[in-house]
Copies of this chain bind each other. A is one copy, B any other.
Amino acid sequence: MNDVARTAGVSLKTVSRVVNGETTVDPTLVARVRAAVAALNYRRHLGASMLRRRDRRTGTIGLLIEDVGNPFSAALLRAVEDAARARGVHVLTGSLDEDPERERDLVRAFARRHADGLILAPAGPDQGYLATELPPDTPVVFVERAATGFAGDSVLARDAAGAMRAVRHLIAYGHRRIAFLGDLPQIQTTRERRQGYLSALGTLGLRPFMIDGLRSSQAAEAATRSLLGRTRPPTALFTGRNLITIGAVRALRGLGRHRDAALVGFDDFPLADLLEPAVTVIAQDPTAMGHAAARALFERIDGDTEEPREISIATTLIPRGSGELRPRVRARGS
């Protein structure tokens, strides 16, 4: 910057003004400075400028989600990235893999990098640590799951309502023996969805079949096989997550029962419509969730200090075939 000032024959401060696009500079000087900048291939050092600046923005936000490799998370990331780009902001990403320690570590790391704000899908049971770990006035927006112990906006799907919808759909098609296959119960969305499932069964006094703690599609496949191997197996499955749904599809295929047992899955997934039968799902809208989270975060960064908001994103039932299979006569009669 010194070199630029010397080359252009102006003071340091003038260069600073030009680089920052301040309007109170003589056009002649602006031109001279720009020429010098181009000639010397000068680029201002963001770190140094942030040091003295009043508004210490880095133009970076952090996004901490379960796994960037999962299609749901990836779509969310993409939506956040698009919203950030529109604002000239960049995104630091991290996958948490349901590990509370990783959540803390990454929060700390992004805080140190002076992210202007964070979007977090909590993995741990408590976010109280944010109060001390984060510099004051760093806004956090929670997505997918609500936080405990820290106030912030949250963008949530209506999980319980979606689950109820799924189960009622199966009931409407004649099913009375409906199983729920879920992920770890410490995950909030698992509990919400299970709750919706139980509520729907409860109104008719139906008996629940539940298996949870399913962390992979392989685990879900094994669980489905054992469930259907029982003497009086369920006639329909409600799966609590995309990976679990896929595991269940594999099991049904393997057993040759894919045209026999009904299936509704939470989360849409690519190619669900091309399977045989196509898979009925409760679709979340990760793109809408990402956009909403980014919008909320930017409002906070811009100084909004209203009470924390809770933004609810609706789910949609997409009937494709697997959820509209009726129970077989054998099951009905037994």
Contacts and interface: CB of A to CB of B under 8 A. Distances in A.
A253 B270 contact: no
Nearest to A106: B90
A329 interface: no
Interface in A132-189: 132, 135
Interface in A238-281: 246, 249-250, 253, 269-271, 274-276
A92 B90 contact: yes
B90 A113 contact: yes
Contacts of A41: 132
A94 B110 CA distance: 17
A333 interface: no
- Chain A residues touching B, range: 35 or more
A51 B47 contact: yes
Interface in A92-137: 92-95, 109-114, 132, 135
A92 B276 CA distance: 39
A204 interface: no
A289 interface: no
Contacts of A270: 71, 246, 269-271
A176 B109 CA distance: 57
A276 B259 CA distance: 14
Contacts of A95: 78, 81
A43 interface: yes
A212 interface: no
Given A46-B114, A95-B81, A246-B271, A68 B74 contact: yes
A90 B94 contact: yes
Nearest to A82: B95
A291 to B, nearest CB: 14
17 contacts: A43-B111, A44-B112, A67-B78, A68-B68, A68-B77, A68-B78, A69-B74, A69-B78, A71-B74, A78-B95, A90-B94, A90-B113, A246-B271, A270-B270, A271-B271, A274-B275, A275-B275
